[in-house]
Structures are given as structure tokens and as C-alpha cells.
Structure 1
């Protein structure tokens, strides 16, 4: 069983050459405390300003049945935003690959093992589904709302700046999105591409300023989950909406994609929803 580790990536497998396991090994999971990245945003554990989840899809999920025959599925995981830990993505990938040559009596046994191990690492219950590779919920769809990407703007700032977020007097309820989200891995510097959806009720956001703000993450180094929390906190502070949902759908890397969402109480993302780039 995995144990809590320090708030550091010094010993994480990310950015290192790793041997892929052949047999089940839950010790491969590398949890990282969320608190260190939340502190600069003024977020205190136990007093989160949002609800939410980190939704993961794993496209390299396989195991052996009791007779040694390989089975495959797409795994969907939902990790609660109030879990003390997130789980480093490469360690998650290595852990999932440790199922490849391991026999299980049933699919339910696989789900039970995944929920147990991931729950220990996250220190919170993790919901697990195994869906058929042809499942309709994996069919690509479009984001709802209005796309900002055709706005003809000049951009010179590629670091997040809440100063770009401006609002008017009118109170509106709208859904906006952009496919221009890009951030970088805090360890390897590799680009993380994604789309972001913002649904809110409150003072009308200036769309050009909002797009400049989102593009500002282009050279920012942070985990997907923390980027979404950063966006949520900046919008709450600058626009003071009555309701807010921020959801990112990141492009998969290494057989995994991560789609975090954060919202005010009562908000939920549109489901099921996967994009063509994912």
C-alpha cells in the first residue's frame, strides 16, 4: 500500500527512465499533496472555495482473466477535488501497466482493486468505471457554448495575469470556451494542450480580456488540476460571479487524459463529454 510522500517531485518517476512492470504493484503510485500548490492561491485545506473532480481516462487498461486471456477496457476515474492528494500521472500509468500480466477473477475484482489502491494514494474515495472500448460515451462531442478563438486580438503576455479579466455592468448567464489552453509540465517542461470551458452567471466578462488571460497560461508550468483551480480563483476574485464552473479537457499523453473541473456548490459539468483531440 502506498504512503504519503513529501510535497516534492524529487523522487517521482516523472521525467525519469522507468522500467515497465509486469505484475501488479500498488507501490508504484506516487501521491502529491495538493496543499503546497493551493497555498499561493489562498486556498486552505478544509475550506475549499469550490467543489469538483479530476476525471481521468486510461486507454491502456488491460489484465488477464482467470484463464490467462487478456481483456481490455477504457478506465474512467473520478478523483474528488477535496482529496488531500493528487496522483502523479506517470506513476499512475506505471501502476495501470502492472495489471497487464496479472490474473483477476472478474472485472469487478479489477474495479475493487483500483478503487482500493487509488483511494489509499489520494486519501479519499475514488470512483472507477471500466467501459467497453466501443462505448458511446467515448464518442467525441463539441463543447457547448460560444467559442472565443475567432477573436482577433493582439497578445504579448504568456504568463497568467488576472489584470486581463474585466467585467461590465450587465448581469448575464453564458457559457464560453477556448481550445487555446496550453500549459507546461512542472517537471519535464513538456507541453500540455487542452480546451477550457467557463460557465457562469454574473457581471459580463470582457471576452477579449478573458481570451488573453487564458492564453497567458501558454508558458506557465503547473499540473492540470492546479491550472484549473488558478483560473477558478482568479475569476471568482475579479468577476465575483454568482455561479461559476471551470472545466478543462486536456489532450491525452501516455495513454492518459485528465479533465479537471471546479465549480461553485451545485454546479456540475456537462456529461458525458469527450473532445476529438482527446
Structure 2
């Protein structure tokens, strides 16, 4: 994967720079076409100037549908958001609308950008690490310490993985083995979660399943892919303590 900024030294940016945004083509558009989901991006370092010329620092939630042709390369998004620091807005809504407009041009799908006031708490879940039994259906299970490798920088990405199946039991021992097998796997967050999702359907024979990867932030941004067989998504954009 070739990118302009990820893993490279970048120059300082002193003014609003939408052209710095870089697209990444989705890897599994065809195989995921009959399913549902989105990517929750939390950007913790967004600043601009208000009408009094005073700096404002906010956290943003960016929701990109999984059906978009492209997503955004994370380092370019960090640099793009950083370029707002000296741009003046009469209110934050004007800034959010501009970000939505710029991201729409990049990913070719409507994107939601909102100010985060408070993240929901994580749902009650059953820790599946080291369990070897069958997990009853309709239980939210959690695997802690998921690790994969960024395919560009070769640096580790960490996450807690949440899984729910309303119709079928899940073999905990087999699931642990699957999730631990990604520890040296090189792929972006979204591709890893989609790969696991498809394996849960094909190898585990689950008919109704939702998976949510809560990844730790890098560069002030965390990316949290959610994939499901159901159009009504089970999870909100909650925040784990480790995030």
C-alpha cells in the first residue's frame, strides 16, 4: 500500500488544506455488499478559532458508511484536521459542514461529522479470553488484546473485539484461536474486521452476527469498524477504558 504521508516525515501546515486528504480504496466491497455497518472515527485533536479569535478544542465523531467506495487514509485526515487550527468559524456547525463536504468528495458517500459531548459506556459483555466452552447465543462477548500490524508502518495496532450472535452459540476456544492468529497479520483495521466477520459466517456457520473492533488511537484518532448481518446496528460509538 502506497500513501503520501503515513510513516513519513511531513511538513508543517499553516492553513486549511483539503487537498491533503488521501483516499484508500475499500478492499472487500463485493464480498461485503449484502451486509451492513460503518466505521466510527473519533478525532480527539480538532481545533479552530471562534468568532472572538479564540482557539477552541473539540473531539469529533466521523461516521463513514462501509458502502463507501473509498475511506480516508488516517495520517492525511490528521493533517487535514490540524490545518483548521488558524481558520475562523462563527460556530462549530459551519466547521463540521465543511468537513462533511470535503470527506464526501473523497469517499463518494455522505459522511456524518458531529461534536462529541460524551461517549456512551461499553455494553455489558462476557470476556472470552481463555474460555474453552460454547458461549450461549444472544450474549455480547469481548476479546481483549487483539493485535494486528499496520501494512504501511509495520507498527502494531491494538483493539478489544466485541461480537454478538442472536441465533447461534459460539465456540470460544475456536474464536480465541482465530483472533490470536491475527497478531502478525498486516492489514488496516477495516479489512481485519471484515475478514473476521466473513470467517464467523463461513467457518463458524453463524447466521446472525455483529462484530465491532474498538481500536486504540494513533495520532489522536481511533478507527472503530462495525460489521453486521443486520441493518439495525447493535452497538453505538461507546469508548473503552483503554481507548
Q: For the superposition of Structure 1 and Structure 2, which TM-score range results when normalised by the shorter chain?
A: over 0.9
1:120 aligns with 2:100: no
Aligned to 1:205: 170
Matched, 1:136 2:123: no
Tell me the residue number matched to 1:147: 127
Q: Which residue in 1 is equivalent to 2:185?
A: 220
The answer for unaligned runs of 5 or more in structure 1 is: 1-8, 154-166
Q: How far apart in 2 are the matches of 1:272 and 1:85?
A: 21
Instruction: Determine the C-alpha separation between the residues in 2 that align with 1:210 and 1:267.
Output: 24
User: How much has 1:171 moved relative to structure 2?
Assistant: 8.0
Which residue does the alignment assign to 1:20? Answer: 12
* Partner SS for 2:224: strand
2:30 counterpart of 1:44? yes
Contact 2:14 2:86 in 1 (8 A): yes
Superposed CA RMSD: 2.0
Q: Residue 58 of structure 2 aligns with which residue?
A: 73
Partners of 1:51 and 1:265 within 8 A in 2: yes
Distance 2:242 2:157 in 1: 12
Are the aligned partners of 1:261 and 1:269 in contact in 2 as well (CA < 8 Å)? Answer: no
C-alpha offsets along residues 28-51 of structure 1, whole Å, 9 cap, x if unaligned?
Answer: 1100111xx22xxxx517x61311
Contact 2:168 2:208 in 1 (8 A): no
Gaps of 5+ in 2: none
1 or 2, which has the higher helix percentage? 1
TM-score (norm 2): 0.93
Instruction: Summarize the Cα distance change of 1:143–1:192 in structure 2 as closer, same or farther, 3 Å threshold.
Output: farther
1:262 pairs with one of 224, 227, 230: 227
Distance 1:90 1:274 in 2: 21
- Shift, 1:143, TM fit: 4.3
Quick check: 1:29 aligned with 2:21?
A: yes
Query: How many residues of Structure 1 are paired with residues of Structure 2 in the alignment?
Result: 243
Deviations 1:175-227 (CA, angstroms, capped at 9, x unpaired): 21111211110000111000001101334221011011001110001000111
3-state SS, counterpart of residue 119 of structure 2: helix
